[in-house]
Amino acid sequence: MKKLNTLFAIALALVLAGCQSKVEYRDATEIETVDVSFGSSDLQAVAGKMVDSMLTTPHVAALTANDRPIVFVDRVTNKTSEHIDTESITDSIRTQLIRSGKFRFIDMTQVDAVRKQLDYQNNAGLVDPSKAIQFGRQVGAQYMLYGNLSSIVKQNGSTKDVYYKMTMNLMDLESGLLEWADEKELRKQQSKSFLGR
């Protein structure tokens, strides 16, 4: 009976050891291919391509040669069938463009918070009027950067193919003219074996 208990304890320990998970830090820029869904590698690829294209386009280079145009970035529209955090794509593009030193940005996502703060400073009676930021002094954007992420999904038996296309546009708000546009395409394919591997 003692041997049986010992064997049972060893078997239980082995089963529990096999169920343990391991967590480790990895390189955030390392290509991840867990599945065909839009992932971190895809986000980095589309954001990098859009920023590089925009900064190296001759017309945009001319716009930024002697000035830092003011841009607002509209959130990338998700036209895929997946839940994709397009705010992260938008943030990555804006951050990389800010780091370039070529543009200045207005954050339209914070307009309500700014309005509340200015209302507090000017109307609550708690802020010295000579130190309050006055209404009507903000600078307007000259350009709007916006885009779409779309996908086409096809499946044939155990093979799934997903095509992604990211399109970005830079519009002059005064004239309505598009000053720049580009797209980045990605294709991912997953095949499952009979055993699901």
CATH number, domain of 177, equals 3.40.50.10610
Q: What angle do CA 170, 56, 66 make, to 5 degrees?
A: 80
pLDDT of residue 53: 95
* Residue 60 domain flag: yes
* Residue 28 domain flag: no
pLDDT of residue 191: 87
pLDDT of residue 185: 93
Range of the domain at 115: 36-125+139-191
* Residue 79 domain flag: yes
Q: Which two tokens stand for residue 144?
A: 């709007």
Strand pairing report for 143-156 and 70-73: parallel
pLDDT of residue 100: 95
Report mean pLDDT in 10-residue bins for the chain, 197 residues. Answer: 69 63 69 73 89 94 94 93 90 94 90 89 89 86 95 90 94 96 92 66
* Residue 21 domain flag: no
Number of domains in the chain: 1
Using alpha carbons, select from 79, 28, 103, 104 the residue that is nearest to residue 183.
79
pLDDT of residue 177: 96
* Residue 62 domain flag: yes
From residue 168, how far is each of 63, 77, 183 by CA, in Å? 17, 10, 6
pLDDT of residue 194: 61
pTM (2 d.p.): 0.76
